[in-house]
Structure 1
Amino acid sequence: MTQYFQLFRLPEQFSIDNQILEQTYRTLAMQFHPDKFVAASAFEQKQAMMMSATINQAYQVLKNPLERAVYLLQAQNINPDDPNNTHIAPEFLMQQMQWREMLMEARIENDTDTIQQLHTEITAKREDLLGSLKTYFDEKRYIEAAETVRQGRFLDKMLHEIETALG
């Protein structure tokens, strides 16, 4: 399960050096790019294609903090996206409903200022959430991390809807 971290020579932890991730990705992508294997055997071409796909998948997971958190949780046999894992703090659920209502009303009224304020507020909440994830992983508090991932999924979805509303 830790193969993505090993592939990018990164420590298996939530906090990673994004600059090293980017540099290693570019190096690996160039090294295993299928075009470099045009004159190679069919087997070597297939291996390069598979390695390239793995590199791209690993990069997508590791560069996204929530996906990286899910990957780390899965290494602990915890699936935060399991439909049976539905616990979310009641306060967060109430906040979620308020944000949805605000967005709906702002869309109806075409109130871009309110939509922009909502974007700012949720972006800040997401940053706080990522800070909490770091703490939970540092302290090996995986159940709290899983709940935080579920909250992060909602925030990401909400931010996408807001960005769509803003055009």
Structure 2
Amino acid sequence: MAIDYFKMFALDKSYPLDTQVLEQTYRRLSTQYHPDKTAHLSAFEQKQAVMLSATINEAYRVLKSPLDRAAYLLKEQGIHADAPEHTQFAPEFLMQQMQWREDLDDAQGNEAALLALQKDINQAYQTLQQDLLNDFAQEQWQQAAAHVREGRFISKLLQQIKQALP
């Protein structure tokens, strides 16, 4: 990785991070390096400012998202959690996933049912985030990668519920 997002934000390189420091540093960096402040500079310097601003925004997006942050840290271990060849999941997770999808289909048009399903899946997502904390603390990289992949499914399902809600 060419640019270390944790260094950019003066954060310790670890899965758990201080979100307040992340937010404060992001506001400071985005203000300090905003491209509008380079209008009087050469075209090259303006382009550099735009690129730096984009990098700051991308670093913030990655570090703010627990799943993206985990995937980013795993890349440093040589593990690409989101690689397309990773298609195996624990049978229990696959069964739960199928049940949630059925429940979502059944809940269409029923706000109360959608909200109940959302609550259930949010609980699973919170548990998964705790599992990721434990995985990183114990340096269980492959298990963390599996949890990232599961988290991607859960996030997508939560997004679908959000879209289905009135």
TM-score (norm 1): 0.95
Deviation of 1:160 (Å): 0.5
Partner of 1:63: 64
Instruction: Give runs of aligned pairs for residues 70-85 of structure 1, distance below 5 A.
Output: 70-85=71-86
Partner of 1:28: 29
- Residues 1:140 and 2:139 aligned together: yes
Instruction: Specify the code of the residue in structure 1 equivalent to 2:124.
Output: K
More divergent stretch after superposition (25-34 vs 35-44): 35-44
Identity of aligned residues (%): 50
Give secondary structure in 2 for the equivalent of 1:27. helix
Instruction: Give runs of aligned pairs for residues 9-158 of structure 1, distance below 5 A.
Output: 9-107=10-108, 110-158=109-157
Deviation of 1:87 (Å): 2.1
Write the distance in 1 (CA, Å) between the matches of 2:64 and 2:133.
Answer: 15
Structure 1 unaligned spans of 5+: none
Instruction: Specify the code of the residue in structure 2 equivalent to 1:130.
Output: Q
Write the distance in 2 (CA, Å) between the matches of 1:150 and 1:12.
Answer: 21
Deviation of 1:75 (Å): 1.0
Runs of 4+ in 1 over 3 A off after TM superposition: none
How many corresponding residue pairs? 165
Deviation of 1:52 (Å): 0.4
TM-score (norm 2): 0.96
Deviation per residue, 1:103-136 (Å, 9 max, x gap): 10111xx222111110000001101100110110
Deviation per residue, 1:6-51 (Å, 9 max, x gap): 1001111110100000000011001110111111122221211111
Deviation per residue, 1:44-69 (Å, 9 max, x gap): 21211111010001001000100111
